[in-house]
Amino acid sequence: MKSASDLEIFEYAFKEKRSIVTADTDFSFILSRWNHNLPSVLLFRFFPYRPDIQFAALSNIVTRYEVELSQGSLILIEPDRVRIGTLPLL
């Protein structure tokens, strides 16, 4: 889906019951207008661009917040903290 629009990615993830992993802050804007509780979005912010570090953080988040992801959440992953918002965002 490399050439897909952000909205197309959302629609695909919603239909296929998948989560979105991104560093693109536009996805949180789309979530603010999205009237569904899925897909969950994991948003890396201010995170070092090192795939090994990102993968370790992502593995930890997916394990620790499995329930939140299945119910629909925006999870902001920063180097020193994790913040979670329940979907739909109000």
If one counts the domains in the chain, the total is 1
Assigned domain for 66 exists: yes
pLDDT at residue number 48: 85
The pLDDT value recorded for residue 27 is 87
Residue 14 lies in a domain: no
- CA-CA distance, 21 to 43, in Å (whole number)? 6
Is 1 a domain residue? Answer: no
Q: Report d(CA 87, CA 57) in Å as an integer.
A: 22
Range(s) of the domain holding residue 33: 22-86
What pLDDT, in 10s, does the model give residues 42-69? 999 998 888 999 999 999 999 999 999 9
d(CA 64, CA 67): 8
Confidence of residue 11 (pLDDT cuts 50, 70, 90): very high
The whole-angstrom separation of Cα 72 and Cα 54 is 21
Grade residue 18 by pLDDT with cuts at 50, 70 and 90: very high
- Dihedrals phi, psi of 77, to nearest 5 degrees: -110, 110
Reported pTM: 0.91
